[in-house]
Structure 1
Amino acid sequence: MRTWIGLLLVGLLLVGCARKKEGIVTDERGEKIALGAITQEQLLKEFPPFKKSYSAYSPDSAAVDSLRNWEQDVKVLIILGTWCPDSRREVGRFLRFLDEAKNPHIQVELIGVDHSKRDARGIAAKYNIERVPTFIVLCGGQEVGRIVERPRETLERDFLKILKKISQLRAA
């Protein structure tokens, strides 16, 4: 009986240790990274390069006005690496754009990944993330579009094009 209890405890210990941590952690390189869900406030406070890109960016005012008038619920899932130069540049800018629009119909979820593009809950794997940052636009739980690594034109224009696609689908 003691043998079974001992094996059970060892098994539970191994399962618990195999689980990745979530939050702000130190990776295998000794670097502080965000792993899993992180709030905008945590990102901007704990990772200065994101705060710097957020503060320095001036979004296109016409795009901000367009976004301010958007009336359908949309979720933007942002998969990022706090260690990644592209994430450091683009995510802060995108958050500034959204904050200036102050649109309650647009919700953001930030998910940090490690250098292998993995997170504790497997969200990056679910969405087949190969590059960061990846901005995934969801409407009604369905992916409508994404911006991968850097915008083709500008973050504002690329995002508004995805929203236009939602409008067209809704009108059809």
Structure 2
Amino acid sequence: MEDKYITNKINKMRGILMIYFCFALFGCQATTTNNQLTEELVGLVSPQQLLQAKQKFADNYQAYQPSENELAAAKEFKGKSITVLFGAWCHDSQREVPRLLKVLDMAQSQLLDLKLIAVNRNKQEPSGLYRSLELRYTPTFVLFEGTTELGRVIETPTVSVIEDLAALTL
């Protein structure tokens, strides 16, 4: 009788342990999936990497139709550089960065260099460029001629990112 009692207890314990391990296993898988979905894009990225990694940016790039004024303004960037500090999580970045990329692509701009620097939610990234450029708001578009900063468009442009940046060249 006592053996049957012990056997029943052991079987119950096995059942409880199996349930515990199933919860642990499925819980870990769910955590991994959630982390993959919310993984941040941080550091220097190419336009192609950005558009492949972040669907919202790709959708906004595809949907945007630049004006003739924007396409003409993009010609003002010959020999200049633009550094963009943005957050993949930031709605203003999701709107404005794809617009910039689309205009530069369609206008076949003679831009010397384009740097896209993704920052985390603390507005930081590994190279420390956010610090030297004194980043406060995202996105921040910085126009350079050589090493000289000509000016910035911060967060929300007045007319459009391209036209506001082109106005800095005058």
Pairwise same-fold verdict (TM > 0.5): yes
State whether structure 2 residue 62 is matched by structure 1 residue 67.
no
**Match in the other structure for 1:142:** 148
**Match in the other structure for 2:45:** 38
CA distance in 1, matches of 2:128, 2:77: 31
Deviation at 1:66, TM superposition (A): 3.9
Which of these residues, 103, 106, 111, is aligned with residue 105 of structure 1?
111
Highest Rg: 1 or 2? 2
Q: Which moved more, 1:111-120 or 1:101-110?
A: 101-110
Deviation at 1:33, TM superposition (A): 1.6
The structure with the greater share of residues assigned to strand is 1
CA distance in 2, matches of 1:149, 1:132: 5
2:44–2:115 CA contact under 8 A, matched in 1: yes
**What residue ranges of structure 1 are gaps of 5+ in the alignment?**
1-27, 165-172
1:75–1:138 CA contact under 8 A, matched in 2: yes
Aligned residues: 136
CA distance in 1, matches of 2:57, 2:98: 5
**Match in the other structure for 2:55:** 48
Deviation at 1:142, TM superposition (A): 1.1
**Match in the other structure for 1:115:** 121
1:44-75 deviation digits (Å, cap 9, x = unpaired): 0010111111111111113313423x374111
Q: Which moved more, 1:71-80 or 1:117-126?
A: 71-80
The structure with the greater share of residues assigned to helix is 2
Deviation at 1:107, TM superposition (A): 2.1
**What residue ranges of structure 2 are gaps of 5+ in the alignment?**
1-34
**Match in the other structure for 1:91:** 97
| CA pair 76-38 structure 1, distance change in 2 beyond 3 A | same
**Match in the other structure for 1:77:** 83
| CA pair 114-100 structure 1, distance change in 2 beyond 3 A | same
Moved >4 Å (runs of 4+): none
CA RMSD of aligned residues (A): 1.9
State whether structure 2 residue 158 is matched by structure 1 residue 152.
yes
Deviation at 1:152, TM superposition (A): 1.3
1:59–1:156 CA contact under 8 A, matched in 2: no
1:103-140 deviation digits (Å, cap 9, x = unpaired): 23342100010111000010001100011000000111
TM-score by length of 2: 0.74
Residue type of the alignment partner of 2:106: E
